[in-house]
Amino acid sequence: MENSNSIASEKIISDLLPQRFGKWGKIWTGFLIAICLVGLFAYYRQLRYGLVVTSMRDYASWGIYISNFVFFVAISLVGSLITAVFRLAGVKWRTPLTRIAEIIAVAAIIFASIIIIVDMGSPERFYFLILYGRVQSPIIWDVIVITTYFFISILLLYYPLLPDIKILLRFKENTGKRLYKFYGFIGSFWKGTPEQFKLSEKAINILCITIVPVAFSIHTVTSWLFATTYRPGWDSTNFGAYFIAGAFLVGAGAVVVAMYVFRKAYHLEKYITENHFEKMGRILVLLALVYLYFNVNEFLTPAFKMKKSEAAYLTGLFSGDFAVAFWFAIFVGMILPIVILIFKKGRRPLPVFIIGIMVVVGAWFKRYLIVTPTLLHPFLPMHDVPASYHHYFPSWEEWAITSGSLAGVCLVITILTRIFPVIPIQETIDQQHETVK
Amino acid sequence: MTQENNSRRDFLLAGIAAATVAVGCSPKKSPFEAGADEQVKASGKKIKLLSVDGEVIEVDEAFLKPVPHLPPVSNTEARIGIPGKKFVMVIDLSRCKNLKKCQSACNHAHDLNPGENWIKVDSMQESEDTAPYWEPTTCMHCDDPPCVKVCPVDATFKRQDGIVLIDSDRCIGCRFCMAACPYSTRVFNWSEPELTAEIASKPYSCETSIPQKKGTVGKCDFCADMTRMGELPHCVSACPNGVFAFGDMNEDTVTNGAETFRFSDLIKDKAGYRLLEDLGTKPSVYYLPPVSRNFPYESGVENDKIQNK
């Protein structure tokens, strides 16, 4: 960060103020909105005709909606990793990454909730979960922890924003009228007095401590939706830790991708430096190694025994219908990233960005492999059902809705970074002052 | 044996009461029809009936009126179940030749969509050198039901008489119960069910399970409406080979309609067992092994090809 030592406060502010969309920004936003609209149309069809428009049937009763849900919950975990864990550990270089991470966390957790409603057969009864909820069901646990996580994440995004909003309010001519009003509405009470800073500091610390167990809970409980059943492939005591490890990896992958994109789009090379990619690269190696370890744990011991109830499921993954996706997820999502990132040259921005994409794509397929193969290998034979029930490949409506939700996450991220500074301005200025002193 | 006699007389009385009501028997108004006390001319033809007090009485035929179907029990009653009962089913694999009469009767009675079956007849073979056999599966009505444990809204529940039911007015369609059921017994109404006008107009009850509803889960309900009337589930009465026997654990009796067995003796003599016992779900459906079979396995193969090409 040596080259940025000399940057003056005013320069920092003008660099980091939210910018209006350029040509590419508009194209990108329009593209995302178009995908969302196609997804909405597919969902309208699903509401009208029922879940029959999907390829899910009585055996494969959960499909890519649920894999996508698990994927979003996993990605959203990164908010707590970078914001809370790094903050509590006193990692200084996290500053330019915290807001990106929090925005990803909020966007992903919103769409995790949406996609789970999409998966419901009778979504109009959603409020039954509150009206008739039974605490013994892991779904209710999930509802509780995800709601809690959502609110903590929002607050953890909001509190550190307050000093920045004070700065934003100084530049009335830069912001539109409506946006100015909005800033005033959410942040005009912030005067920046020492008492306010003290209070806010305290609040953020409390949030950072509480979000860690809640973040662990969201993904552990999500893994329990599977692990509390008897089915081969899900009936595993390893599942909680296995999911958490995977979530940290995909979350970190998503952050490096976002870092690279924002760095390019908003010319933030002085703030998100090569050093940040170098360090995130190291973290990715560690997380990929941990996840690989849990994968070995998850598959080696059952494969060694090849219990009858599990044999068909396991051979389906290793050499059967799902083998391509399985080995893709292992190699592209874990082994290749480890191999490349071990080398210093592999930790430069572009390679780290590409590996981030590999990790995220591999992780998506991994979630698919966690949900579907198990359901297609029940204890009793699949019998007396139409032949189409024996297989699962998502219908166009499922792809459209899933893509729509992925585009939705990107859209929320895009909008939030349009409204708010991608990099915390006040914190960056403060750090400058510290290093100068 | 007195127990059995009693239940037979109860059954008879219930049958008469359900078929007709003697208008002249009671000065009170009929609870089912407002105009029950209107003037009717006597036809002169007398019919003998058993009164509520147990006496034989003669009533003119003209005073007899058909009783409309009993309204379905309330949701609260349906959730509690029939007091003092503990329903149990025994499936004798040595008698099954995959006729699938159970299945078609069940599908008809519950108005299931094409392709949907609550009863499946699986072709089973434990390993290469063991003998294949036909195994009908229903809902196991487990005493420790995994589906009920995971349901977030109490839409599927366990009754005191042992039956596990689904309340389609409550089900949110999350399908967690389908994932949790190790017997894969649950089906889902993926689309709007094709209902005849007659079925669609019936009031929904979780005991009859009709009319089915889009976006909700369905499964074998042990024909809770039939058992409430003291009758056998449709699969039991439809099977010409007496594969299914149904009864009450508390009475220790099961019957397939033609024969009645003492449940404990049957299970002891024929080495009864339950499916996936090691999971600890405690099913209410017992199986008798396919020994000394009435039919060779091959006799069912042709029929299997219709649904499993």
Q: What's the confidence (pLDDT) of residue B38?
A: 57
pLDDT per residue over A131-154, tens digit each? 999 999 999 999 999 999 999 999
Residue A83 has pLDDT above 80, yes or no: yes
Residue B191 has pLDDT above 90, yes or no: yes
Q: What's the confidence (pLDDT) of residue B148?
A: 97
- The number of CA neighbours under 13 Å toward the Cβ of A420 is 26
Helices (DSSP H) in B85-218: which residue ranges?
A: 101-109, 146-150, 176-180, 197-201
Report chain A's mean pLDDT, rounded to a whole number.
92
Chain B residues with CB-CB distance to A128 below 8 A:
153, 170, 172
Quick check: A383 and B146 CB within 8 A? no
Contact predicate B265/B257, CB 8 Å: no
Of A27-31, B209-213, B282-286, where does mean pLDDT reach its minimum? B209-213
Residue A4 has pLDDT above 60, yes or no: no
- Mean pLDDT of the region A58-72: 95
Q: What's the confidence (pLDDT) of residue A104?
A: 94
Contact predicate B285/B274, CB 8 Å: yes
Other Cβ atoms less than 10 A from the Cβ of A90: the count is 7
Chain B residues with CB-CB distance to A118 below 8 A:
none
Angle at A13 between CA A9 and CA A18, to 5 degrees: 170
Q: What's the confidence (pLDDT) of residue B28?
A: 47
Q: What's the confidence (pLDDT) of residue B29?
A: 47
Q: What's the confidence (pLDDT) of residue B10?
A: 47
Q: What's the confidence (pLDDT) of residue A7?
A: 67
Confidence of residue A171 (pLDDT cuts 50, 70, 90): confident
Q: Does B99 touch chain A (CB under 8 A)?
A: no
What distance in Å separates residue A225's CA from the closest CA in chain B? 8
Q: Residue B43 burial (CB < 10 Å; 0-12/13-18/19+)?
A: exposed
Between residues B32 and A266, which one has the greater pLDDT? Answer: A266
Contact predicate A106/A155, CB 8 Å: no
What domains lie within chain A, and their CATH numbers? 2-436 (1.20.1630.10)
Output the furthest CA–CA distance in chain A (Å, rounded): 77
Which of A278, A398, A358, A374 lies closest to A322 in space, CA to CA?
A: A374
Contact predicate A150/A113, CB 8 Å: yes
List A residues 139-168 in contact with B (Cβ-Cβ < 8 A).
139-140, 143
Angle at A274 between CA A270 and CA A279, to 5 degrees: 125
Q: How far apart are alpha carbons B212 and B155 in whole angstroms?
A: 14
ipTM attached to this prediction? 0.91
Structure tokens belonging to residue A335: 């082994």
In chain B, where are the structural domains located? 2-66, 75-304
Which of A262, A277, A211, A206 lies closest to A416 in space, CA to CA?
A: A262
Confidence of residue B69 (pLDDT cuts 50, 70, 90): low
Confidence of residue B31 (pLDDT cuts 50, 70, 90): very low
Quick check: B215 and A375 CB within 8 A? no
Q: Does A138 touch chain B (CB under 8 A)?
A: yes
Chain B residues with CB-CB distance to A386 below 8 A:
115, 307
Q: How far apart are alpha carbons A310 and A379 in whole angstroms?
A: 9
Q: Are strands B87-92 and B120-124 parallel, antiparallel or unpaired?
A: unpaired
Residue A299 has pLDDT above 70, yes or no: yes
Q: How far apart are alpha carbons A379 and A372 in whole angstroms?
A: 15
Cα A96 from chain centroid (whole Å): 18
What distance in Å separates residue B106's CA from the closest CA in chain A? 14
Which of B261, B280, B276, B307 lies closest to B4 in space, CA to CA?
A: B261
Q: Does B214 touch chain A (CB under 8 A)?
A: yes
Fold of B75-304: Alpha-Beta Plaits (3.30.70)
Residue B20 has pLDDT above 90, yes or no: no
Q: Model pTM?
A: 0.88
Q: What's the confidence (pLDDT) of residue A81?
A: 77
Residue B27 has pLDDT above 50, yes or no: no
Q: What's the confidence (pLDDT) of residue A12?
A: 86
Q: Which one of A380, A388, A389, A390 makes the best mutation probe of the B interface by having the most chain B beta carbons within 10 Å?
A: A380
Q: What's the confidence (pLDDT) of residue A20?
A: 84
Which of A432, A419, A437 lies closest to A164 in space, CA to CA?
A: A419
Helices (DSSP H) in chain B: which residue ranges?
A: 2-19, 75-80, 101-109, 146-150, 176-180, 197-201, 224-228, 234-238, 263-269, 301-304
Residue B273 has pLDDT above 90, yes or no: yes
Q: Which one of A122, A379, A388, A390 makes the best mutation probe of the B interface by having the most chain B beta carbons within 10 Å?
A: A122
Angle at A149 between CA A147 and CA A152, to 5 degrees: 110
Chain B residues with CB-CB distance to A129 below 8 A:
152-153, 172
User: Position of tokens 């996936």?
Assistant: B276
Q: Quick one: CA dihedral B8, B84, B147, B74, positive or negative?
A: positive
Q: How far apart are alpha carbons B56 and B49 in whole angstroms?
A: 6
Cα B194 from chain centroid (whole Å): 22
- Mean pLDDT of the region B277-298: 96
Q: How far apart are alpha carbons A410 and B29 in whole angstroms?
A: 70
Residues 6 or more apart from A166 whose CB is under 8 A from it? Answer: A187, A190, A191, A192, A426
pLDDT per residue over B94-117, tens digit each? 999 999 999 999 999 999 988 889
Please report, as a single letter, which amino acid is at residue B75: N
Helices and strands counted in chain B (H then E): 10, 15
Q: What's the confidence (pLDDT) of residue B4?
A: 44
Q: Quick one: CA dihedral A71, A72, A78, A84, positive or negative?
A: negative
What distance in Å separates residue A71's CA from the closest CA in chain B? 18
- Mean pLDDT of the region B165-192: 96
Q: How far apart are alpha carbons A162 and A257 in whole angstroms?
A: 26
Based on its alpha-carbon atoms, the radius of gyration of chain A, rounded to whole angstroms, reads 23
Output the furthest CA–CA distance in chain B (Å, rounded): 75
Contact predicate B154/B169, CB 8 Å: no
Please report, as a single letter, which amino acid is at residue A114: I
Q: Does A385 touch chain B (CB under 8 A)?
A: yes
Confidence of residue B57 (pLDDT cuts 50, 70, 90): confident
Confidence of residue A431 (pLDDT cuts 50, 70, 90): confident
Q: Report which secondary-structure segment, H or E, holds A228.
A: none
Confidence of residue A433 (pLDDT cuts 50, 70, 90): confident
Q: How far apart are alpha carbons A185 and A172 in whole angstroms?
A: 14
Buried b (16+ CB within 10 A) or exposed e, B63-78: bbbeeeeeebbeeeeb
Q: How far apart are alpha carbons A355 and A347 in whole angstroms?
A: 9
Cis peptide before B211 (omega within 30 of 0): yes
Q: What's the confidence (pLDDT) of residue B68?
A: 66
Q: Report which secondary-structure segment, H or E, holds B261.
A: strand B260-262
- Mean pLDDT of the region A95-103: 92
Residues 6 or more apart from A7 whose CB is under 8 A from it? Answer: A15, A270, A432
Between residues A199 and A3, which one has the greater pLDDT? Answer: A199
Give SS3 for A207: helix
Q: What's the confidence (pLDDT) of residue B14?
A: 44
pLDDT per residue over B114-148, tens digit each? 888 999 999 999 999 999 999 999 999 999 999 99
- Mean pLDDT of the region A337-366: 95
Search chain B and give the residue with CA nearest A224.
Answer: B150
Q: How far apart are alpha carbons B168 and B25 in whole angstroms?
A: 40
Between residues A13 and A242, which one has the greater pLDDT? Answer: A242
Q: Does A226 touch chain B (CB under 8 A)?
A: yes
What distance in Å separates residue A33's CA from the closest CA in chain B? 28
Residues 6 or more apart from A128 whose CB is under 8 A from it? Answer: B153, B170, B172
Confidence of residue A26 (pLDDT cuts 50, 70, 90): very high
Q: What's the confidence (pLDDT) of residue B60?
A: 84
Nearest CB partner across the interface for B122, out of A58, A129, A380: A380
Residues 6 or more apart from A68 whose CB is under 8 A from it? Answer: A115, A364, A367, A402, A405, A406
Q: What's the confidence (pLDDT) of residue B59?
A: 84
E strand segments, B53-101: 56-60, 64-66, 87-92
Q: What's the confidence (pLDDT) of residue B216?
A: 96
Q: Are strands B87-92 and B285-288 parallel, antiparallel or unpaired?
A: parallel
What distance in Å separates residue B305's CA from the closest CA in chain A? 9
Report chain B's mean pLDDT, rounded to a whole number.
86
Q: How many residues are given for chain A?
A: 437
Residue B5 has pLDDT above 50, yes or no: no
Task: Write a three-state SS string for A340-382.
Answer: HHHCHHHHCHHHHHHHHHHHHHHHHHHHHHHHHHHHCCCCCCC
Quick check: B187 and A58 CB within 8 A? yes
